[in-house]
């Protein structure tokens, strides 16, 4: 009976996974179609009879895709570590805080998380213009200085909150300074949270479209998502080129996700671990 149940669960999981894997699979197969041909009709025509890598060559020659990927790596590579620093600092500060102020700050964070990007679109542009930073990568990276997103700060605050307060108090009594408390005590206890935020913020910075569109100018500075939009204009016969670029740009995130799997599997220690 139990065996049957687990088979059912496995079958259901596989079915569910297949639904999500299918678009990914299509993205891998579709670029192999020769560009210039009319798009396939129905599933039967999706797998090309004569696979070609022409669409990848086209994607890299039509737009400066390679250069844009390097730019995206540069932005993400700087923004993600800063996000981790600021979000974990703010999260820890929030956890150690007591009383009304903490309630106010948490409420403010939740409120901030609901503000749509479009609402701050113009004020941000004016701000960065006054600072003379239009045309640089600073406006793209700047959100990282504020924890990337209010949500990331809240994630850290929740993770730190689950660590018994006595741990921090003991460390402080032992003469542990703020930075040391953060680096040696708090951060090692929330590794899965850090892994999650690394991934989430990497996806956010990597695929950010509006910020680079508004703040960057020269073609050599543009990031990868802008190139996809440019290729999208080529028309339906060149969708393999568009999908080839999409595949190349999605790949790093997928690889990062699989690489981080091991980190997710570690259990975060809950409130009762001290007693064990």
Q: Catalog residues that contact other proteins under the rule CB under 8 A.
A: 35-39, 41, 62-63, 71, 74-75, 78, 82, 85-86, 89-90, 92-93, 96-97, 121-122, 125-126, 129, 131-138, 141-142, 145-146, 172, 177-179, 182, 210, 213-214, 216-219, 221-222, 226-238
Three-state secondary structure string covering 11-55 = HHHHHHHHHHHHHHHHHHHHHHCCCCCCCCCCHHHCCCCCCCCHH
Residue 98: both structure tokens together = 């007591």
Please report the DSSP string for 82-141 in residue order.
Answer: HHHHHHHHHHHHHHH--SHHHHHHHHHHHHHHTS-HHHHHHHHHHHHHHTT-TTSSHHHH
Shortest Cβ 259–other proteins spacing (Å): 24
Shortest Cβ 213–other proteins spacing (Å): 6
Q: Give whichever of 194 and 238 is closer to other proteins, judged by the CB atom.
A: 238
Contacts of 107 (CB under 8 A, 6+ apart): none
Q: Give whichever of 231 and 243 is closer to other proteins, judged by the CB atom.
A: 231
Q: Give whichever of 92 and 199 is closer to other proteins, judged by the CB atom.
A: 92
Q: Give whichever of 166 and 265 is closer to other proteins, judged by the CB atom.
A: 166
Shortest Cβ 261–other proteins spacing (Å): 29
Contacts of 174 (CB under 8 A, 6+ apart): none
H or E element at residue 141: helix 138-145
Shortest Cβ 220–other proteins spacing (Å): 8
The terminus-to-terminus CA distance of the chain in angstroms comes to 35
72: Cα within 13 Å, side-chain hemisphere: 26
Q: Give whichever of 142 and 197 is closer to other proteins, judged by the CB atom.
A: 142
Distance CA 33, CA 241 (A): 9
Distance CA 234, CA 130 (A): 37
Q: Give whichever of 90 and 199 is closer to other proteins, judged by the CB atom.
A: 90
Shortest Cβ 258–other proteins spacing (Å): 27
Shortest Cβ 87–other proteins spacing (Å): 10
């Amino acid at each position: 009976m139990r065996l049957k149940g687990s088979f059912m669960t496995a079958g259901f999981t596989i079915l569910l996974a297949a639904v999500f894997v299918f678009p990914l699979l299509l993205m891998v197969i579709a670029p192999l179609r020769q560009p210039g041909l009319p798009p396939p009709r129905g599933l039967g025509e999706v797998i090309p009879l004569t696979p070609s890598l022409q669409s990848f060559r086209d994607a890299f020659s039509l737009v400066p895709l390679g250069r844009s990927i390097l730019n995206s790596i540069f932005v993400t590579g700087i923004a993600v570590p800063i996000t981790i620093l600021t979000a974990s600092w703010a999260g820890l500060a929030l956890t150690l805080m007591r009383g009304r102020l903490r309630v106010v700050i948490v409420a403010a964070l939740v409120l901030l998380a609901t503000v749509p990007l479009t609402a701050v679109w113009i004020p941000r542009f004016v701000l960065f213009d006054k600072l003379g930073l239009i045309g640089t990568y600073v406006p793209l990276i700047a959100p990282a200085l504020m924890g990337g997103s209010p949500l990331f700060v809240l994630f850290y605050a929740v993770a730190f909150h689950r660590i018994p307060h006595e741990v921090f108090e003991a460390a402080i009594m032992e003469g542990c300074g703020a930075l040391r408390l953060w680096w040696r005590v708090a951060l090692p206890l929330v590794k899965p949270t850090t892994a999650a935020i690394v991934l989430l913020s990497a996806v956010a910075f990597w695929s950010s479209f509006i910020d680079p569109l508004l703040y960057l100018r020269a073609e050599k500075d543009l990031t990868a998502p802008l190139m996809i939009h440019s290729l999208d204009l080529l028309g339906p016969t060149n969708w393999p080129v568009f999908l080839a670029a999409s595949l190349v740009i999605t790949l790093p995130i997928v690889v990062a996700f699989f690489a981080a799997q091991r980190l997710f599997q570690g259990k975060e220690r809950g409130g009762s671990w001290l007693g064990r």
